[in-house]
Amino acid sequence: MYRIATGTTHGLADTDAFVRLLGRLRGTAAEGLGDFFDARGELTVARAPGRLDLMGGIADYSGSLVLELPTASATHVALQTQEQRSLVVASLAPGGEGAPRLFEMPLPDFEDEGGRPLEYADAARYFERGGGRHWASYVAGAFLVLMREKGFRFERGARLLVGSSVPEGKGVSSSAALEVATMRAIDAAYGVGLAPRELAFLCQKVENMVACAPCGVMDQMTSACGEADRLLALLCQPAELLGNVALPEGLAVWGVDSGIRHSVGGADYGTVRTAAFMGYRIMADAAGFAWREAGGPGRVRVEDAKWGGYLANVTPAEFEEQYERLLPERLEGAEFLRTYKGINDPVTSVEPARVYPVRQAARHPVYEHDRVKKFSGVLQDWRGGGQAEELGALMYESHESYTACGLGSGGTDLLVRLAREAGPAQGLYGAKITGGGSGGTVAVLGAREAGPAVAQLAARYAELTGRTPLVLQGSSPGAAAFGHLKLV
In contact, 364 and 405? CB cutoff 8 Å: yes
> Does the active-site annotation cover 219?
yes
Amino acid in position 266:
G
Residue 445, number of CB atoms within 10 A of its CB: 25
Q: Which phi and psi (to 5°) does residue 125 adopt?
A: -65, -35
In the set 219, 257, 304, 370, the catalytic residue is 219
In contact, 230 and 244? CB cutoff 8 Å: yes
Give how far Cα 262 sits from Cα of 4, 163, 259, 273, Å: 37, 21, 9, 15
d(CA 230, CA 227): 6
Q: Which phi and psi (to 5°) does residue 232 adopt?
A: -75, 120
DSSP symbol at 99: P
**Residues ≥6 apart with Cβ < 8 Å to 362:** 275, 276, 278, 279, 280, 282, 283, 311, 323, 327
**Residues ≥6 apart with Cβ < 8 Å to 53:** 66, 68, 171, 218, 434, 435, 443
Burial class (CB in 10 A: 0-12, 13-18, 19+), 45: buried
Look at residues 314, 259, 296 and name the one whose alpha carbon lies nearest to residue 63: 314
d(CA 56, CA 110): 36
Query: Coil, strand or helix: which one is 159?
Result: strand
Residues serving a catalytic function are 219
